[in-house]
Structure 1
């Protein structure tokens, strides 16, 4: 008798993994001074949760983090560069910066006392006109990338190299002149865009934009500040929109436990497993 073949086919019935679009909440506002945007900033804080009292490393109730730059030491402030991982190593808040430019800088404060300090306020050390162009929301420091007006903020479990997700991200900007030139783009764990949102205009004033999602799904954001990078010969106006940032506000970074891309691809293709076993049947 021929050897029969016994086979078992197991199919995981996920022929497609639809993208679930969760509605986001957008908070934005602008005005001449800090008082004009405090209300919308506070509403975004409520969206994220965590109360008003800051704990260690900018943690609010373990559900929200904030960076206001003002605690950055003089050694990491203008004219010195800020380490891209400062807010995941020195002050672990789960935020790491990257840019195609030459680095990052936090503006000087009057209390700085190192070489070349105190630097002129509001990046006046780069271009003297910036001292009058920019104002602060929380004095005295501001933040910018150098050599590029675009940078990314990637999220990690604070103090670790474990990729993380947050429920939202918002930032304050100063001197946004052109609508659509300053934006925040949000990305999910698979590096798919969750949308690009415009920061409202406030010439010589302050603007706020924050986007909140009902679950932790943002792995990084891309911030575009104006249409040119800061520079010694780059004055604001005449088609140049020079913009820098103040406070960052974002959800508590939680570990990204999403399946590996290979696993998702396997499931999307149907996930068919075939087990084959042969056995010899004795002749009668």
Structure 2
């Protein structure tokens, strides 16, 4: 029987479970409300070609050596196992900090979380949804094309600054530097936060058509996709995290109950790893 229960199978939960499994050598149980693991590091597949995938959540992770500290080993481990590799595609509009390095996941961004879950030896079960702190909302579209389709743009991804609906577009296979005539390309479209909030509870089919109409204005030469997936991120990125919690909050000691996640830090790779490390240390100190 497990002595440790982790609620939430996103990046923070997965990394925390992996650390606890390695440190305590005990079984760790993981609960999540969704059907699969990954949280907002989500990768979806084409309905007819499993090799054609699209990252509907996080697009890449950024290493800032100046502030990496103990997190550097996480990047090094993921790179050494082929889970991450440098982002070499052109991303127009990206703000690049000197000395930083951006990484993509060749097998899809959800493979980062699944890597940690594999180490933690966990049980995944659907459980009730946990309330978050304060998050922005947005939509994402995954557009899938048949093999041989060409997307004629000079970039791998692009930030859009002059459209009320669309904020980011990625040619996902090109972003990961994986282009093959046998595998159809995929395109990911992220909306603006304002658009996501405005249409948060609207009919998904209507929202999808609205996003596609804006996409046609931005990329009029884009071919018609063979399949489309519309993803609503009700909890996209943290607007206001819990203050002064250092990545976690102990709610109860007998039995031990700890909350963690990007709601206690910030919505990026570093924020989730910081929370995972903080939660794992708090658990170890009480066992």
Q: Same fold (TM over 0.5)?
A: no
Normalising by structure 2, report the TM-score: 0.23
Tell me which structure has the larger Cα radius of gyration.
1
More strand by share: 1
Normalising by structure 1, report the TM-score: 0.23
Larger RCO, structures 1/2 (Cα 8 Å, 6+ apart): 1
